[in-house]
């Protein structure tokens, strides 16, 4: 066991313990650490924006040769965002919002149709290659049935009776299995985050591992 002698490691360990003090109850140490985090992280974002955005994309192209005067228009449009600081001119924000929301919406339509819908439907078709063995055949049929019944379950414009209701009931079985798997994976994810912090405290700070 060799406890770290690095001041930075000690700072990190202290902050870690301040956050963990919340497990006992909400207390000033936790709140202090939380607020320090908020301030530091926004400060960090601003520094990154300064070096990677404001200097190379706004300041240099406008004020240094070769000047890119055409950038004045998107910059002016972007600057309309400052309208949110004024009650009188807050409607100015609508211009940059309208521009980028509609541009992204338009860019999204064809690619989402292909990526999320057409290719996903195509991959569920019962093509002959999916029946190469008994196991694969069962899986292909299960996937097809699972997909169709899940879609039926989320279709709320028709009354759930007879065959439609039965299909929706099958759909909920698949959905519950998926949610169960998602819960299991979520537990796994949360535990992993704790393991990472414990590795830091035990290995890097206390030097036990």
Contacts of 152 (CB under 8 A, 6+ apart): 164, 167, 168, 171
Of the pair 31, 159, the CB lying nearest another protein is at 31
Least CB distance from residue 183 to another protein, whole Å?
4
Take residue 14 and report the two structure tokens written for it. 């202290």
Q: Please, which residue, 156 or 162, has the CB nearer to another protein?
A: 156
Kindly tell me which of 161 and 190 has the beta carbon lying closer to another protein: 190
Which of 194, 200, 193 has the alpha carbon at shortest distance from 4? 200
Q: Least distance to another protein from the beta carbon of 110, Å?
A: 5
Return the number of the residue (159 or 199) whose C-beta is nearest another protein. Answer: 199
Cα angle value 15/19/21 (rounded, 5°): 115
Q: How far is the CB of 2 from another protein (least distance, A)?
A: 14
Smallest distance, another protein to C-beta of residue 159, A: 19
Q: Output the smallest distance, CB 56 to another protein, in A.
A: 6
Closer CB to another protein, 156 or 161, in the complex: 156
């Amino acid at each position: 066991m060799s406890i770290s002698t690095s001041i930075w490691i000690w700072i990190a360990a202290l902050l870690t313990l301040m956050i963990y003090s919340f497990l006992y109850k909400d207390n000033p140490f936790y709140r202090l650490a939380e607020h320090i985090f908020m301030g530091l992280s926004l400060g960090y974002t601003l520094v990154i924006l300064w070096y990677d955005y404001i200097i190379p994309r706004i300041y240099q192209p406008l004020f240094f040769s070769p000047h890119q005067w055409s950038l004045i228009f998107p910059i002016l449009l972007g600057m309309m965002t400052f309208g949110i600081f004024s009650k009188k001119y807050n409607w100015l924000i609508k211009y940059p919002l309208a521009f980028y929301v509609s541009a992204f919406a338009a860019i999204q339509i064809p690619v989402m149709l292909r990526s999320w819908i057409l290719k996903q439907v195509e991959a569920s078709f019962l093509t002959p290659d999916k029946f190469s063995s008994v196991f694969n055949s069962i899986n292909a049929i299960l996937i097809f049935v699972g997909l169709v019944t899940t879609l039926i379950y989320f279709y709320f414009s028709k009354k759930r009776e007879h065959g439609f209701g039965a299909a929706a009931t099958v759909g909920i079985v698949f959905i519950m299995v998926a949610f169960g798997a998602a819960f299991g994976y979520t537990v796994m994810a949360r535990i992993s985050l704790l393991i990472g912090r414990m590795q830091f405290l035990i290995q890097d700070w206390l030097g036990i591992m």
